[in-house]
Structure 1
Amino acid sequence: MASLSSRQDVTVTSSEITSLFNLIRDWGSGEQDEVMDRIDSQLSAIAERENISKGGVLARVEDVDGLTLLHVAAEYGKDSVLDYYFRDGVFIFESGLRASQLNRKTKTLDGPIHMAARIGQTEFIKALASRGVSVDSKGAFGATALHFAALEKNDSLVRDLIGVGANLNTQTMSGQTALHIAAQNDDVATATLLLNNGANPNIRNAGDLKAGVVARGIANSQVYRLFLERGLPC
């Protein structure tokens, strides 16, 4: 069976892509086995028609925005779809192709891990990390999953990302660390978590501002008060 890596004439229609996406979007409680069987059945039919592996088909399941089946699964927190990528007989001698799918970016530069972080799908992020996806992978504007968690004021996800080894001092294209974002949002819970786990308060963003200085500019800022109490630069 030919691998997609050596085939350029594979066709997966837009209606087939929509059908696969809708299976995940319409997934009801207790329907995991049924939905996964239907996904496998549809992929198998396309693979047989195109004479490629099911993994080869998955690599061509992409809409006009660059969303893949794994992006949709990440948005809805369906870990069993990720497990499917590692099922025997899906990617046949195509581990490199599979790895590329786990990190594939949309047209807005979101990988599955960034999609999951935006929505707060913690377990999906952990599953991706356990499969070798870097939690420090950069998406749109150079943001990591930790930046998105801070933007959403999701201190629970921030805690979990710290637990799987996220770099607390990674900067976006504008020089923002997660601590800068917490300061800007006056999110004292996230700021406390970050500082307690070693986030560097001396890093400057593209505007030459430390996180404490950002906090100082926010009226009645709890984060600014936190920095003052700890004697941190602000």
Structure 2
Amino acid sequence: MTKRTSAKYKIDRRMGENIWGRPKSPVNRREYGPGQHGQRRKGKMSDFGLQLRAKQKLKGYYGDITEKQFRRIYAEAERRRGDTGEILIGLLERRLDAVVYRAKFVATVFAARQFVNHGHVLVNGKRVNIPSYRVKEGDVIEVREKSKQLASVLEAAQLPERDVPDYLEVDHQKMSCTFVRQPGLGDVPYPVQMEPNLVIEFYAQN
């Protein structure tokens, strides 16, 4: 098992939830955490524990992005007018690796980050290799011509367990998608419940 896959499964087990909705998640077989103490009975979690867990789950879902990056996104969401939790989700969904994942160009968000890093993605006809690049409404994201026949790309488009959300217009024949609008929490097809309100509380108090 690769280091990346092992880390991915560890996040699922630590959370006790199949946060990407994958059929192979170890949580489908056992819900306790990793390690020798994983089966210990858990007591009632404190407010801080619930908030921390909500933050770790949201961070983990987007490929376990760094605390520095995540805090920066939160700070920007807080500066903007409107519901901070909704804006936080919208900013996360505008990351290029998240869009590549949502469009089903690759199978996982971890693969999406690597796919962008390796220069397989064009935004408005120009190659972009920064996973955290923020797309704008109307941007066209496509798989580079030379990369369209990669086995990982062809397999991902056939995955049954994920639907493409309506804030993207995707053409799998051309391997391209248009980012239509910034979504809110209710628009994003998370397989598990995300609680950005608890993430906001965590940063407000710490």
| Same fold per superposition (TM over 0.5) | no
Structure number with greater Rg is: 1
TM norm structure 1: 0.26
TM norm structure 2: 0.28
